[in-house]
Amino acid sequence: MQHVLVLNASYEPLNVCSLRRAHVLVFKGKAEVVEELDRPLCSAESRFSWPHVIRLLTYVRVPRMVQRKISRRALFARDGWRCVYCGTASGRLTLDHVIPRSRGGGSVWENVVTSCAPCNLRKGNRLPHEIHMELPHPPRPPAPVLFIRLATPKIPQRWERYLGAYTAATSTVPVPAAA
């Protein structure tokens, strides 16, 4: 499936959509083509530009309080596919609640981290400081760009200039294709 990058009116990356959805948004006058591919999009009677990056014409307020659902793949990508406690990238990665659920910790982005199985087992039902484990930084929700990178198997080079400014808030480690 051909993916098209969708930008807000402010050029902030929002998501990716199908070629068909992008064409409908452009055709209805809700978006404009910012980047197009060299080949045309043809119907029986017409030729259109083949959108590669589109920009919405009206600004869409994205509520920051609405958090995306936690998935292991998104969590591991946020944390660079390595254990936050020991830094290992080998072995089996697991999801760890910084404040254990049995102690009232929730399953929210600010309370979950990537942990290797040995560190998770060592931590168990305790807080990290209770067993002298440290978090390098407090966990936080990932930037929307992370989800764009996860949704598209290979990021086209022409998208990088739109995603680049927002990548600093996410992991710069490439996302494995078969994770």
Cα distances (angstroms) measured from residue 146 to each of 32, 36, 59:
24, 23, 21
Summarised one tens digit per residue, pLDDT across range 74-93 is 999 999 999 999 999 988 99
Asked if pLDDT for residue 177 goes beyond 50, the answer is: no
Residue from 92, 94, 2, 116 nearest 53 by CA: 2
Strand pairing class (47-56; 3-7): parallel
Asked if pLDDT for residue 122 goes beyond 60, the answer is: yes
pTM of the model: 0.68
Average pLDDT of span 144-172: 74
pLDDT of residue 67: 64
Task: Walk me through the domains of the chain, giving residue ranges and CATH numbers.
Answer: 3-63+144-167 (no CATH), 72-131 (1.10.30.50)
Sign of CA dihedral 73, 78, 80, 83: negative
pLDDT band at 166 (very low <50, low <70, confident <90, very high): low
List of residues 6+ apart from 116 with CB closer than 8 A: 83, 85, 86, 88, 91, 92, 93, 94
Q: What is the mean pLDDT of the chain?
A: 87
